[in-house]
């Protein structure tokens, strides 16, 4: 849970919008949480840099930089960083409708 809070703090510091956290409780053997956030490509790149600096991921675990959708594998947490257009187009909220959305304070 501490890693999740660290990632959410970094997203807040880069002014991510519409951040949602889904708990994959017993739904995946590979990860526990999925985070969706809306940012510009520039903000996404900054977020990835801060995540690396905090030791939360390796360089090889980032896909799709500067494409409108950056996928970050932070071990047991998957982070999707979308720009507004890609977020609407892929509509992950609908895909995750059967997964519990949680609020972290």
**Burial degree of 37 (CB within 10 A; 0-12, 13-18, 19+):** buried
Count of domains for the chain: 1
- CB half-sphere exposure, 65, CA atoms < 13 A: 12
pLDDT of residue 105: 65
Q: Give pLDDT tens digits for 21-36.
A: 999 888 888 889 999 9
% of residues, the chain, pLDDT over 90: 75
- Integer Cα distance of 102 and 59 in angstroms: 28
What domain range is 44 assigned to? 2-102
Instruction: Provide the pairing of β-strand 77-82 with 33-38.
Output: parallel
CATH code, domain with 37: 3.30.460.10
- Give a three-class secondary structure readout of 33-45: EEEEEECCHHHHH
Whole-structure pTM value: 0.92
SS3 at position 96: coil
């Amino acid at each position: 849970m501490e890693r999740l809070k660290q990632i959410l703090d970094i997203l807040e510091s880069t002014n991510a919008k519409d951040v949602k956290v889904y708990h994959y409780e017993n739904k995946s053997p590979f990860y526990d949480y999925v985070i969706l956030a809306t940012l510009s490509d520039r903000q996404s790149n900054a977020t990835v840099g801060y995540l690396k600096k905090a030791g939360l991921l390796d360089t090889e675990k980032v896909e799709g930089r500067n494409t409108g959708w950056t996928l970050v594998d932070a071990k047991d947490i998957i982070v999707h960083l979308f720009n507004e257009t890609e977020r609407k187009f892929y509509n992950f909220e609908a895909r995750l409708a059967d997964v519990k959305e949680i609020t972290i304070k």
